[in-house]
Amino acid sequence: MSSAAQDDLLFKALADSRRRQMLDLMKAAPRTTGALCEHFAGTLDRCTVMQHLGVLERAGLIVVRREGRVRWNHLDAGPFQDIHDRWIGPYALAAADLLNRLKHDLEGA
- pLDDT over 80 at 25, yes or no: yes
Residue 75: CB partners within 8 Å, gap ≥ 6? 23, 26, 27, 30, 61, 62
Q: Please choose, from the candidates 77, 67, 78, 79, the residue with its C-alpha nearest in 3D space to the C-alpha of residue 33.
A: 67
Q: How far apart are CA 107 and CA 109, in angstroms?
A: 6
- What is the pLDDT, as a whole number, of residue 94? 78
**Could you report the per-residue pLDDT of 83-93, keeping only the tens digit for each?**
778 777 777 77
| Half-sphere exposure for 20 (CA within 13 Å, toward CB) | 7
What is the average per-residue pLDDT within 27-54? 97
* Burial bucket for residue 59 (CB in 10 Å: 0-12, 13-18, 19+): buried
